[in-house]
Amino acid sequence: MKMCAAYKQTLFVLMVTWSAIAYAKDTAGSVQLLGNCDEQNECVVNLNASGSQWEKLCDSPDFSVLWTKRGERYLVQCRSRSTSEENVVWIIDVKTGFFGKLYFGRFFKKSILEAGPNMKIEDKFQSRGLCSAAEILRVKASNFVLLDKKSTNNSENPYCYDPIYLTLQGGRLTIGTNNGPFKIGDTDHAVHAVLNRDKARLSHLLDTVRRWHPEP
Give the burial class of 176: count Cβ atoms within 10 A of its Cβ; 0-12 exposed, 13-18 middle, 19 or more buried. middle
Domain that holds residue 95: 5-211
The reply to whether 207 falls in a domain is yes
- What pLDDT, in 10s, does the model give residues 101-130? 999 999 999 999 999 888 888 877 778 899
% of the chain exceeding 70 in pLDDT:
81
For the cut 70, the answer to whether the pLDDT of residue 25 exceeds it is no
The reply to whether 216 falls in a domain is no
According to the model, what pLDDT value does residue 175 have?
93
The reply to whether 98 falls in a domain is yes
The reply to whether 163 falls in a domain is yes
Q: What is the dihedral of CA 179, 72, 191, 40, to 10 degrees?
A: 30
The reply to whether 117 falls in a domain is yes
Residue 200's H or E segment, with its range, is helix 196-211
The reply to whether 65 falls in a domain is yes
Closest to 169 measured CA to CA, from 131, 150, 143: 143
Q: Please, which residues have CB within 8 angstroms of residue 48's CB and are 6 or more apart in sequence?
A: 31, 32, 61, 62, 63
pLDDT band at 49 (very low <50, low <70, confident <90, very high): confident
Mean of per-residue pLDDT scores for the chain: 81
The reply to whether 133 falls in a domain is yes
Number of domains comprising the chain: 1
Closest to 110 measured CA to CA, from 150, 166, 168, 181: 166
For the cut 50, the answer to whether the pLDDT of residue 17 exceeds it is no
According to the model, what pLDDT value does residue 152 have?
87
